[in-house]
Amino acid sequence: MTRPRLVAVVGATATGKTALAIALAEHVGGEIVNVDSRQVYRGMDVGTAKPTPAEQARARHWLVDAAAPDEVFTLASFLDLARAALDDITSRGRRPIVAGGTGQYVWALLEGWRVPRVPPDAALRAELAALAARDGAAAVAAELRRIDPASADTIDAANVRRVIRAIEVTRATGRPFSEWRQRDEPAFDATIIGLRMERPALYARIDARVDAMLAAGLVDEVQRLSAGGYACDLAAMSGIGYRQVCEYLRGECTLAEAAARIKTETHRLARMQHTWFRDDDRRITWLDALAPDLAAQAVAALGATT
């Protein structure tokens, strides 16, 4: 049985994924599934570089504004919504285009990861964190080995957060966390286009975008969110841009210092995003993000794999 095809546009922040995805959607009759973990939140538009209303009018976007900033939005939440979106798009004869830089989301969707629907257990996490503080990371790792030796063999005992999550999932589901790390056969064949840019050019683009966000009202956006009951201590508000503006609004830094911190943290984010994709030349067709004929190259890449 022939599996449906989808297109994925991946790469670091500020490489132009949104613009290319829209161009491809217009060319192939597609709809875009957002794979950015911050653009899912309503009201967080400027600081997440969310597609503008005009851009969204050119191609339908899914998983944009999918959750309130105070909702818990997990990888499992994303997969449930994204898979439903892909089914809807293909059922109408449209072409799904997955676009974004959250590497975990991208590969979980394309590789058929099994992800447990287990919300955080605050009491258990506090108990195990206290155990680690009192007796060391090895004590928590010993508990994981008792209930799931396979996971204990593969998870670094020093990574207490991951060890605790494995224990949490195993206890909640009654199945070893190691079983959840298996994968199902993907439902789609994917053509993956990656956008690359030399680091100096990328950093310059990031810095210009941060300046543009501040000019476009990022501080006002954070103030509106706070006035709407979405406090700075929410997980959604810990994202780059929002966290630093909150620091500015609390008087902990100047606006210029906040801007510099946003730029530095976004540079770091771009490097982290790159690690999710950098060694996968077999599956990813890499294109120069600054190529004047980028869209034409991307269309040609689709033709070569269709």
pLDDT tens-place string over residues 216-231: 999 999 999 999 999 9
pLDDT average, residue stretch 19-29: 97
C-alpha torsion 196→201→205→206, nearest 10: 80
**Is residue 306 over pLDDT 70?**
no
Domain match, 107 and 224 both: yes
| Residue that finishes a domain, picked among 161, 180, 199 | 180
Express each pLDDT in 134-178 by its tens digit: 999 999 999 999 999 999 998 999 889 889 999 999 999 999 998
pLDDT at 102 (0 to 100): 94
Domain match, 189 and 89 both: yes
- If residue 144 lies in a helix (H) or strand (E), which one and from where to where? helix 137-147
**Is residue 305 over pLDDT 70?**
no
Express each pLDDT in 191-249 by its tens digit: 999 999 999 999 999 999 999 999 999 999 999 999 999 999 999 999 999 999 999 99
Residues paired with 198 in a beta bridge: none
In the β-sheet with 61-62, what is the strand arrangement from edge to edge? 61-62, 30-34, 95-99, 5-11, 189-196, 284-288
Domain match, 140 and 259 both: no
Domain match, 152 and 301 both: no
Q: Where does the pLDDT of residue 15 fall: very low under 50, low under 70, confident under 90, or very high at 90 and above?
A: very high
Domain match, 67 and 201 both: yes
Domain match, 188 and 288 both: yes
Domain match, 187 and 237 both: yes
CATH of the domain at 200: 3.40.50.300
Domain match, 49 and 70 both: yes
Q: Where does the pLDDT of residue 1 fall: very low under 50, low under 70, confident under 90, or very high at 90 and above?
A: low
Number of domains composing the chain? 2
Domain match, 162 and 297 both: no
In the numeric block, which tokens belong to residue 257?
């210092």
What's the mean pLDDT when you consider all of the chain?
A: 94
pLDDT at 239 (0 to 100): 95
Range of the domain at 38: 5-113+183-305
The CA distance from 152 to 147, in Å, is: 9
| Residue that finishes a domain, picked among 158, 180, 202 | 180
pLDDT at 304 (0 to 100): 62
CATH of the domain at 150: 1.10.20.140
| Residue that finishes a domain, picked among 131, 162, 180 | 180
Domain match, 248 and 131 both: no
Domain match, 216 and 138 both: no
The CA distance from 273 to 260, in Å, is: 20
Count the helix, strand and coil residues of the chain and give each as a percent rounded to the nearest 5: 55, 10, 35
What is the pTM (predicted TM-score) of this model?
0.86
Nearest to 224 by CA among 74, 36, 47: 47
Domain match, 158 and 18 both: no
pLDDT at 116 (0 to 100): 85
Q: Where does the pLDDT of residue 2 fall: very low under 50, low under 70, confident under 90, or very high at 90 and above?
A: confident
Express each pLDDT in 263-287 by its tens digit: 999 999 999 998 889 867 889 999 9
